[in-house]
Amino acid sequence: MSTPFHLNNKTVLITGASSGIGRQVAITCSEMGATVFITGRDKTRLDETFKLLKGNNHKQFTCDLVNETERNTVIDSLPNIDGLVHCAGIVLPAPVKFIEEKHIRQLMEINFDSAVLLVSRLLRSKKLNKDTSLVFMSSIGAHFPYNGGALYNASKAAIEAYSRNIARELHGSGIRSNCIVPAMVNTPMYDETLKGMNLTEEQYSGKYPLGIGKPEDVANAAVFLLSQASRWITGTNLSMDGGYTLTIL
Ligand SMILES: NC(=O)c1ccc[n+]([C@@H]2O[C@H](COP(=O)([O-])OP(=O)(O)OC[C@H]3O[C@@H](n4cnc5c(N)ncnc54)[C@H](OP(=O)(O)O)[C@@H]3O)[C@@H](O)[C@H]2O)c1
């Protein structure tokens, strides 16, 4: 039976692949037939991801995406791609009162600026094939605030607006752009966020009717958005929250 739910013959760039969601997106994409190009800053953890990939011809790049030279070197050494899943990001919890300019720069540089600069460089160097699918990681926090999340949530609201604008500007080239909007997913960032909210795992996980998310849940959604199965979907935000937002009121 022929199915559009695969990534055979597709090449996909995945950032933040040395940990958490990005690592699982890379593994699942390779299992679904894609050739993947993975990036992260930590070489040891990126190597670990690389070893878990299925199939051949994958490539890995140790790179700080905030550094212009390193970022451009990665893009320039890539062949054309059919998909990007931008998972690199940080959380940096801080009460509104204590946010300083250095915190804004530190967070926005990776959560927002790097996405914008990656995409513009990829476009200018004509590295995006027709029908490329761009996938960005937003967060449920962009819609449901929590204490200490002002800066992080604002960066995710920015990426959603940016993605919708790409979808509008680039539809003529067949390029699609969508965001995944997860609530809490069990990764190293999850532990950091709980600390920022002053909550224990027991206090927090009870709020999720379907339990806390797994990296696999997000990776499966990324595969769908990269595949031809979603060819008619662009400019959307795919929320996935295990029922959390159904129980807030
Ligand atoms: N986990 C959640 O609950 C959750 C919920 C909603 C949205 N998200 C979003 O999903 C994405 C992935 O989150 P995660 O939970 O998988 O986080 P994670 O486990 O902390 O992984 C973050 C990744 O980003 C990379 N990264 C950070 N700064 C970088 C930089 N300057 N240059 C290059 N790479 C950089 C890290 O690389 P190194 O480790 O090699 O430095 C790591 O691979 C993030 O955008 C996050 O905001 C997560």
Q: Render pLDDT for 158-201 as a digit per residue (tens, 0 to 9).
A: 999 999 999 999 999 999 999 999 999 999 988 888 887 788 88
> How are beta strands 11-15 and 81-86 bridged, if at all?
parallel
Q: Which of 112, 57, 64 is nearest to 86 (CA)?
A: 112
Q: Determine whether the shortest distance from the Cβ of 18 to ligand 1 is under 6 A.
A: yes
What's the pLDDT score for residue 193? 80
Residue partners of 67: CB distance under 8 A and separation at least 6:
none
Q: Which of 82, 81, 88, 121 is nearest to 107 (CA)?
A: 88
Q: How many CA atoms lie within 13 A of 212 on its CB side?
A: 15
Catalytically annotated residues? 152
pLDDT for 122-161, tens place per residue?
A: 999 999 999 999 999 999 999 999 999 999 999 999 999 9
CA 31 to chain centre: 18
The domain 11-247 having CATH identifier 3.40.50.970: the answer here is no
| Arithmetic mean of pLDDT over the chain | 96
Rounded Cα gap, residues 194 and 190, in angstroms: 6
- Strand partners of residue 166: none
Q: For the chain, which residues make up each domain, given as ranges? A: 11-247
Nearest-CA residue for ligand 1 atom 6 is 139
Question: Both tokens of residue 13?
Answer: 């760039």
What's the pLDDT score for residue 249? 75
- Phi/psi for 243 (5° steps) reads 85, 0
Nearest ligand 1 atom to alpha carbon 138: 7
pTM, two decimal places: 0.97
CA of 248 to the centre of ligand 1 (A): 26
* CB neighbourhood size of 206 (10 A): 10
Q: Is 16:87 a contact under the CB 8 Å cutoff?
A: yes
Amino acid letter for position 177: S
For 116-135, the DSSP string reads: HHHHHHHHHTT-EEEEEEEE
* CB neighbourhood size of 202 (10 A): 7
What's the pLDDT score for residue 205? 87
CA of 14 to the centre of ligand 1 (A): 11
Nearest ligand 1 atom to alpha carbon 86: 45
- Strand partners of residue 128: 81
DSSP conformation class of 80 = -
- Is residue 97's pLDDT more than 80? yes
137 three-class SS: strand
